[in-house]
Chains A and B, each alone.
Chain A
Amino acid sequence: MATSGSAQLPAEVSVPSPASIGRITKPAPRHSALVRVTHWITTVCFLALLVSGMEIVISHPRFYWGETGNVLRTPLFQLPIPSSRKLVPTGYGYVLPDQNGWSRALHFEAAWIAVLTGLLYLVSGLLTRHFRKDLLPSKADLSWRALMTSLAKPLCLQRPSAAEAFSYNGLQRLTYLFVIFVLFPLVIWSGLAMSLGFVSAFPWSVTVLGGRQSARTIHFFVSVALVLFLLVHVLMVCLAGFWRRTGAMITGRITARKEQT
C-alpha cells in the first residue's frame, strides 16, 4: 500500500519546492468538493438500492416480457435461486423469510436521495463545465489505438502512470458518460415505469418500454450493468492504488506516491 511520506502541503502551495520534488501538488483538487460529496452519497444509496433490490427480486425471481406476468405464465427466464414466497415454484424445498417491507421502503428512500443527489451533480456539472472538461473525450482519445491501449493496460494488470492520476483516458471518459447519461437515466425511468401512481399520470413512460413486466426486466438488466460497472470501477481503483485514489475522492488531493515499478 502506498502511503504519503510526509505531511500534506496546503492546497494553495503550487510552486514546487525542493521538499515537494517527486510529490504531486496542484492548486485545484483532483475532484471538486461537489463531485466528492455526491460520489459518496451515491455510493451509499447504490449499495442500499442493490441490497434492497435483490431482496425484492427474491420474492419473485421470475422475469417476463410484455404487460403482465405471474406464476401461471411462462417466464422469459427465472433466476436459479430460492424465493421468499411459497407460491413461486423454484425447485427448492424451502421458503426464505419475507423481507419486502423494509426492502421496499429502503429502496424508494435511497432512490429519492440518489435522484436528488444526481440532479445536483448534473446541474453543477453543466454549470462548472465538469462534463466537458473532465469527461468529454478528445478526438485523440477516441482513436482506435488509444482506446485499445487503455483497454489493454488494465487487462495486463499494468498500473497507470503517475500522469494518469490527474485525468481519465478515452475509454474511462466514455464509460463514465455512458453510466451517467444512459444507465442511470434508464434505471430511474424503468423504475418509475413500475410505479402505478406515476404511470397513471405518464402512461407513455411504461408503454414505450413495452409494458409493466418489460420495464421490470429492463430495470433488472440495467441494474446488472451498473453492478458490472461498479466491479470494474473498484478493480481499476485497486490497480491504481486503492488508498491513494480513494483518498483523492475523499480529500480531493492526490497524495505523494512512492514511485511505481
Chain B
Amino acid sequence: MNLKGMKQKQVLLISFLSLIFFSVYSQESNGLSLGFEVGSGFVTGDLNKNWNVRQYMGNYDYDYSYGSSISSDMSISFIGIRPEISFLQNKIAVSSGLRYTRINSSLSNGSTSDGAFFYLRGNGNTTNIDYYKVRKINEDNDYIGIPLDIKFLPFLNEYFDLYFKLGAEINFRFNTSTDIDFLNPDMEQFQQELIANVKFTPNHFYSSLYGAIGIRLGKKDRVKYNLELILPTYILTANNSSLLTPRYYTGFNFTVQLPGKKSKSQNQNDLSGKKL
C-alpha cells in the first residue's frame, strides 16, 4: 500500500470516529460528558542493537569530567478527546475516543557537556570503516489510536472524587522521523545513509494495558478536572522504537471534562426534586 493510500485511509478512519463521537455527544443524555486529555510518561527500556553504536567510551568506571557512557531516553506523550458515559449513580464510567500519541526516543552521551559525543559506525567495507561523532540520535514515532477505559468511583463527594481506572489502547503509526545530530556539521550529508543502514521499521501498532489512580475535582454537572497517576504500564507491542525496547512506563494524565447537556425531562425532574 502506498503512502498516499494509507493517509487517505487514516483520514477516513479519523473522520468516521469523529462522526460517531459527535453524533453521540449531540444526543441529550445526563451521564455523558466530553473530556480533553493531555498526558505524558517516562518509559523504562533496554538499548536496541539496531544502531551500530560503539560501546561505552570506557567501562572501567573512569571518572572523566565529560562522562563516559551512552544515555538512552524514551518518553510517551499524548493528547486526546474522549466522551465518557456514567452508570450506576456515576460510580462507574466508561470512556473512549481518539488519542494522538508520540513516542520519543533518543540516544546520547551521558554527559551534559556541549562537546560530548559517541561514535556511530557507518557502512564501510571489510577493510575500511567509518565512525561518525554523534551528539544525539532522536526518533519520533507518531500514532493515532483509540483508548477504552473504565473508571470506578467508589467514594463520591460533592467536590472531590477518588477513582481507579483500568484501560487499554490500540494505536496505529502514521509517521516516523529520525534525526542524527552530528558533532561535525559537515557530516550531515551522511545522515540518510546512516539511517538507511538501520534495517528496522518500527511496529505499525502500539498497544498498552494500563491502570491509574486519580482524583476528580469539580461540582456535579459542572466542568471537572481529573488528575491521574498512571501506574506502571505494560506495553503489549514490541519494536516501537529502533533505539530502545520499551518495557513499561509510568506517567500522568490530566483531563478537563465538560458536562453533557440534560434532557428536558431530566431538567424537569431536577426542578420538581428541588420543589419537593
Binding partners A and B: no
Interface residues of B (CB under 8 A from A): none
